[in-house]
Structure 1
Amino acid sequence: MDFQGHMQYIVSVDIGTTTIRACLYGKSCNKLKVAEEKVDIEISGQDEWELRVEIAPEKLLEQFIRVVQSVLKDVSAEDSVAMALCCQRNSFVFWKKSTGKPLHKIVCWNDARARKSCEDWNGSVFIKMLNAGGSFLHFFTRMPRFMAAKNLKFLSAMVTHRALVTLETIPGHKALINDNDLGFGCLETWLINRISVSDNYLADASNISSTGLYDPYINGYNNVIIKILGFPTSILAPICDSISSKELCFIKESFFGRKIPISAILADQQSALYGSGGWDLHDVKISLGTGTFVDMNTGNKPHASMNGLYPLVGWRMNNTPVYIAEGNDHDTAVLLKWAGEIGLFENVQDTSDMAFAVKSTNGLLFVPAFGGLQTPINDGLACCSFMGLRPDTKKVHMVRAILESIVYRVYQIYQTMMDEVKPTKTSKIRICGGVAHNDFVCQSISDMLNCEIERVTDGGLVACRGVALLAGVQLGLWKEADLPNMISIESVFKPNADSRRVLVKTFPLWLQAVKRSTKFY
């Protein structure tokens, strides 16, 4: 690749659950180069209650350096480069500030070491009193914040309890806290502290908003919950905007041979919403990657949910957040990975044609619950299951049943969103992620939602692109008014009445299968 003249580039890095990738973008955010590596996930534990999911931090840092170096190797030293960073959420690490040395492996968002602690807290008298108090105050005030208290439950996917459980395993942690030598944070906090010129210690608002430490109704740390849990407040990094009028920090020159500013930071799903063009009120983005995430832009108001939707910060500028409502399901790509491993197909790209090849699943139903069932069912003890197996069940029926289960979970989350948020209209619904390459899944989602669905071009890179677009605004490379013309749509799926009838007819039976699979463990 030939780079001529003085140019401005953005290198966008997406640290995902399974892949870390760097994308180099040029003028008008055109993609120039991509480098990626698989993240080495370490899984251990005897059962669902003891599951450990970890990443070696030094190895992840080495991968970060390699993918960035790979996309920058042809960029002239005279050219300007800025970085945009997006990360998987709720994976965290403790480290010693004076040395930068991590004190344990990165604890991933789907690690279950705190599941028992969460269950104990959720069944405690305190939580019951908090729920009752929230219900009482909400009845009289109708304030969303009290509705949130009414429905508060601790989840192991949140950082709070996993961090406290992990902290107790660190020798001398109390002395480190007293000496102000204990660092703590999610991936963006740790990485920036490690690579920045001034050892910056900060937490991006979009990343911190999903940890359980943040209160969206006050746009800051939830000091009430933090105090109740006994979480050490002195180790919490100051919350920063996703972009600001100047660079958030600079990377040490020793890493890449130049001092690179970090101009924007976002959490991965929020970045995917931004990169899909979800800037307007009630825009919806559906991500089908490692998990399923349905995000709706709720503007300047956080949404309080009765059924497991989360009020998160989409992005924050000038201390003013744009909020989103999010529903999720943990199991999406993992379903297809498992199905391939047990021999249901040879190539995942064949699954769409396999599903289209039959008119129905022949009565077969699949419940996608390797990691439980999230919004709106919210049952971490649900089990994965096939129901309705018959002597004439074929592989194509099993593949179609798995794909339909992904569609039904998207429909459940989306319908919950529509029922609770009650938007006057949804201006656009866009879909992205690796599993969104599957035409059967996209068409079936369009059929079930009875809405037009737009599949974003390069959907697997949309998180990288989102934070790069945001960085370009900060750098003055383009204006917010230019953004709609910078989003490319690959395909548009429109509802089909015949296939919708088949899916709608099967859905009540699938709900029965779900009911039989809940509270299994």
Structure 2
Amino acid sequence: MTGPVLAVDQGTSGTKALVICPDRGVIGSGAAPVSPRYGSGGRVEADPAALLSSVVDAGRRALAQAGEPVAAVGLANQGETVLAWDPATGDPLTEAIVWQDRRAEPLCTELAPHAEKLTQLTGLPLDPYFAAPKMAWIRRELTREGVVTTSDAWLIHRLTGAFVTDAATAGRTQLLDLDRVTWSPEALDIFGLAEERMPEVVDVDGAVGITTAFGAPLPLTGLLVDQQAALFAQRVTEPGTAKCTYGTGAFLLAQTGPRPRRTGNGLVSCVAWRLAGRTSYCLDGQVYTAASAVRWLTDLGVISGAADLDPVGSAVPDSGGVTFVPALAGLAAPWWRGDLRGSLTGLGLDTGPGHLVRALCEGIAAQVVELTDAVAADLGAPLTSLRVDGGLTRSALLMQTQADLLQLPVEVSALPDATALGVGAVAMLGMDPSLTAEEAVPAWKPSAVYEPRISEAAAAERLAGFRAQVEALLDRTPPAAH
């Protein structure tokens, strides 16, 4: 059996690091915050130096708490966040353009005639959420210098000097040929990126270099994009199984096996991981605002933080007729209308904070139901349960609402920080190829299972109310304005 590994999850609002021992589990943890900056016109940026320092700080804190050496390190990343940087010096040439940034919307509109071709090639719909539109936007608007990549390639370069990205992260760019798992010359050309120097696409469990950022030299043996790392940790490895992570956004992924399954229902078809040269695929659906919508309510003073969701929401029996479509950064799958704004309807003089909290929980949960319905349609069979992880799973109100609207059991992971655990398992596989995935991933068990408490008819009625408000938003903002 291998020794402990350091697993680092570089996320949107912070970096979490764990020291994971195959026998004893998590023996050290550390965290460091990151503060994205939000601006007009859909601008969401982060300081690249802050991303790197958060990785180093969180990793060193976890190692200090563990108090013993590790054998390797794994790194998970945000996925669609991009920047331009100088490959000679490693210096950033732009801010990091975060996955939520919408400034490439006009570029996507311009490329709309190529949308169907791009989706067929890459599995992804044409949308500013993905990396390629942002990369092309940087080249048009900010700089032609250096290289332009996802944030993981820059972090890996700063840590080890290598110029690589893993297959799953590459699959989030809209530049990867989904079937061949190599860069697509045609997609690169469509985005005006044909002359770019692109990082090598590597397996998620390969040794890519040595880093001294955390002290003694350590091999970097695991790389995986955040949601796929959580998928791996949740043991969602068989076709037809699914998980949802509730973080800044909510992300539902369903395993589809060794062949990509093109979706007809607004989901994304992408690489789950490539382990030892073998590729697994998944279907992916996104809710852009989950914890970020909770933060919005907090900033307004309605609640003082996510810990208030349950006490404030439980003070009232229902949402009081309020419907909240929390499209605060647009609607993602299955609608793909990033231009839409959120809506609050049904307000009255008797509306209080508890009604707003319950309406938000219903709005998040209803969007996840739309995703599970799309997965079921694509797979030809309904899901039987949903495994969930992420910070917002601490809210019993949100999880019960999810089970009620989904009409399925919702199984909350007993393992917090699933993304870090997943990339830690990948790092172990990269260090010891004789290990199986089952041996590397911690045994899965739920900390709680939420069963539906309302009838199917009641769930259908509440979902119909939400869908009616989404339709009203779509009618008010026709696609021609998109």
Shared fold by TM > 0.5? yes
Offset of residue 483 of structure 1: 5.4
RMSD (Å) for aligned C-alpha atoms: 2.5
Q: Which residue of 1 aligns with 2:178?
A: 216
Query: What SS is found at the alignment partner of 1:455?
Result: strand
Q: Which residue of 1 aligns with 2:419?
A: 463
Offset of residue 314 of structure 1: 0.9
Q: Which residue of 1 aligns with 2:39?
A: 44
Query: What SS is found at the alignment partner of 1:285?
Result: strand
Correspondence 1:271 to 2:229: yes
Query: 2:4–2:21: 8 Å Cα contact kept in structure 1?
Result: yes
Offset of residue 485 of structure 1: 5.9
Query: 1:289–1:333: 8 Å Cα contact kept in structure 2?
Result: yes
Structure 2 letter corresponding to 1:434? G
Correspondence 1:185 to 2:141: no
Offset of residue 340 of structure 1: 2.1
Query: 1-side partners of 2:316 and 2:63: how far apart?
Result: 47
User: C-alpha deviations, 1:7-61, integer Å up to 9, x for none?
Assistant: 922111111001112111123361112111210212233xxxx332211112322
Q: Summarize the alignment of residues 106-121 of structure 1 with structure 2, pairs less than 5 Å apart.
A: 106-121=96-111
Query: 2-side partners of 1:382 and 1:308: how far apart?
Result: 16
Query: 2-side partners of 1:470 and 1:358: how far apart?
Result: 44
Query: 1-side partners of 2:395 and 2:375: how far apart?
Result: 24
- 301, 304, 320: which one pairs with 2:259? 301
Offset of residue 152 of structure 1: 7.1
Query: 1:160–1:213: 8 Å Cα contact kept in structure 2?
Result: yes
Structure 1 letter corresponding to 2:110? D
Q: Summarize the alignment of residues 127-138 of structure 1 with structure 2, pairs less than 5 Å apart.
A: 127=114, 131=116
Query: 1:328–1:374: 8 Å Cα contact kept in structure 2?
Result: yes
Structure 2 letter corresponding to 1:187? S
TM-score (norm 1): 0.85
Q: Which residue of 2 aligns with 1:490?
A: 447
Offset of residue 168 of structure 1: 3.2
Q: Which residue of 2 aligns with 1:242?
A: 204
Q: Which residue of 2 aligns with 1:179?
A: none
Offset of residue 315 of structure 1: 1.0
Q: Which residue of 2 aligns with 1:378?
A: 336
Q: Which residue of 2 aligns with 1:439?
A: 396
Q: Which residue of 2 aligns with 1:89?
A: 79
Q: 1:348 to 1:188 in 2, by over 3 A?
A: closer
281-290 or 509-518: bigger deviation: 509-518
Tell me which structure has the larger Cα radius of gyration: 1
User: C-alpha deviations, 1:262-310, integer Å up to 9, x for none?
Assistant: 1111000000111111112211001111001110000012121223211
Query: 2-side partners of 1:484 and 1:65: how far apart?
Result: 24
51-60 or 346-355: bigger deviation: 346-355
Offset of residue 75 of structure 1: 5.9
Query: What SS is found at the alignment partner of 2:23?
Result: helix
Query: 2-side partners of 1:289 and 1:468: how far apart?
Result: 19
- 21, 27, 33: which one pairs with 2:22? 27
Q: Which residue of 1 aligns with 2:56?
A: 65
- 384, 389, 403: which one pairs with 2:347? 389
Query: 1:278–1:297: 8 Å Cα contact kept in structure 2?
Result: yes
Give the aligned length. 476
Offset of residue 110 of structure 1: 1.3
TM-score (norm 2): 0.92
Query: 1-side partners of 2:327 and 2:48: how far apart?
Result: 29
Q: Which residue of 2 aligns with 1:162?
A: 134
Q: 1:322 to 1:40 in 2, by over 3 A?
A: same
Offset of residue 332 of structure 1: 0.6
Q: Which residue of 2 aligns with 1:141?
A: none
219-228 or 294-303: bigger deviation: 219-228
Q: Which residue of 2 aligns with 1:474?
A: 430
Structure 1 letter corresponding to 2:463? F
Q: What fraction of aligned residue pairs are identical, expressed as a percent? A: 22
Query: 1:285–1:430: 8 Å Cα contact kept in structure 2?
Result: yes
Query: What SS is found at the alignment partner of 1:200?
Result: coil
Query: What SS is found at the alignment partner of 1:97?
Result: coil
Q: 1:150 to 1:284 in 2, by over 3 A?
A: closer
Structure 1 letter corresponding to 2:310? S
User: C-alpha deviations, 1:113-157, integer Å up to 9, x for none?
Assistant: 2111111221xxx43xx74xx6xxxxxxxxxx9x83699742111
User: C-alpha deviations, 1:215-269, integer Å up to 9, x for none?
Assistant: 212222122121233213441111100013xx22211x3x333110111110000
Query: 2-side partners of 1:232 and 1:108: how far apart?
Result: 23
Query: 1:367–1:517: 8 Å Cα contact kept in structure 2?
Result: no
Q: 1:481 to 1:465 in 2, by over 3 A?
A: closer
Structure 1 letter corresponding to 2:106? K
Query: What SS is found at the alignment partner of 1:8?
Result: coil
Offset of residue 67 of structure 1: 1.6
Query: What SS is found at the alignment partner of 1:250?
Result: strand
Q: Which residue of 1 aligns with 2:89?
A: 99
- 404, 409, 414: which one pairs with 1:452? 409
Offset of residue 355 of structure 1: 3.1
Query: 2:361–2:401: 8 Å Cα contact kept in structure 1?
Result: no
Q: 1:507 to 1:73 in 2, by over 3 A?
A: closer
Q: 1:168 to 1:494 in 2, by over 3 A?
A: same
Q: 1:29 to 1:159 in 2, by over 3 A?
A: farther
Query: 2:323–2:466: 8 Å Cα contact kept in structure 1?
Result: yes
Query: 1:288–1:333: 8 Å Cα contact kept in structure 2?
Result: yes
Q: 1:510 to 1:102 in 2, by over 3 A?
A: same
Offset of residue 82 of structure 1: 0.8
Q: Which residue of 1 aligns with 2:372?
A: 414
Q: 1:74 to 1:439 in 2, by over 3 A?
A: closer
User: C-alpha deviations, 1:330-362, integer Å up to 9, x for none?
Assistant: 011111111122232234323224434433222
Query: 2-side partners of 1:266 and 1:29: how far apart?
Result: 23
59-68 or 207-216: bigger deviation: 59-68
Query: 1:446–1:453: 8 Å Cα contact kept in structure 2?
Result: yes
Query: What SS is found at the alignment partner of 2:465?
Result: helix
Query: What SS is found at the alignment partner of 1:411?
Result: helix
Query: 1-side partners of 2:349 and 2:65: how far apart?
Result: 59
Offset of residue 209 of structure 1: 0.3
Query: What SS is found at the alignment partner of 2:402?
Result: helix
Q: Which residue of 2 aligns with 1:228?
A: 190
Q: 1:226 to 1:495 in 2, by over 3 A?
A: same
Offset of residue 475 of structure 1: 2.8
